[in-house]
Amino acid sequence: MRKIVIAIDGYSSCGKSTTAKAVAAELGYAYIDTGAMYRGVTLYLLEHAIDFADLPRVEQALHEMQIAFKRNRKTGRNELCLDGVVREDEIRQMRISNLVSEVSGIPAVRHAMVRQQQRMARKRGVVMDGRDIGTTVFPDAEVKVFMTAEVLTRALRRQEELAAKNELVPVEDIVENLRKRDHLDSTRTESPLRRAPDAVLLDTTHMMIDEQVDFVLERVSAKLFALASAGWEPKEIK
């Protein structure tokens, strides 16, 4: 079967990662959580007491750190590894959420992560979610989806995720965090969060995960059929 690149962009806590994971599993594709990569960089900088404004030191850190994904055999999920150690729980903490947009806006960080993401998907057959996948990382992705949802809905979802990890955070604090991140992500100079002109909009405010997954899979099926009819042959991404 011909394999394509599926780019899922959008705001935080819209269900991007959960949907992308399920779509990848259904298709037998690789799943790449680009947001986790930026969270990993943020965690590394914090743990090594590196000032975000110290750009030479940040660039040095990018060469020193090793970011990769390791499949958890028990859960079947890919987990972020920082310097060979799984740090999936730590990168999901609110202290990381409060700073990740600031770190991901640093041009050197953005460039380093984009290069790595493009290498990961050079043979296609991937589902990648983030903020700039369809606009910067893979502007020629065959399927692009842009996800959004009402901020309170997103905050309640995020609160439930945190509570499951024994981190209790008032919903008002999460709403404030989401609005701050939305602003930083949408207004940064380097690869701002925006909907690609050819991305289909998916508002998940009143949708269940199964409905979101079906929505994306329907677009994938239609695209694969159209490409096959046109005699399209996939090429390795360079």
Judge whether 10 is annotated as a binding position.
yes
Q: What is the CA radius of gyration of the chain?
A: 17
Judge whether 231 is annotated as a binding position.
no
CA 163 to chain centre: 21
Judge whether 81 is annotated as a binding position.
no
Judge whether 16 is annotated as a binding position.
yes
Cα 134 to Cα 198: distance, rounded to the nearest angstrom: 9
Angstrom CA distances, 64 to 44, 51, 102, 224, stand at 10, 16, 20, 40
Q: Which two tokens mark 164?
A: 């499951």
One-letter amino acid of 228: A
Beta strand 30-33 pairing with 126-130: parallel
Judge whether 104 is annotated as a binding position.
no
Number of alpha carbons in the 13 Å side-chain half-sphere of residue 217: 16
Show binding-site residues: 10-18
Show binding-site residues for ATP: 10-18
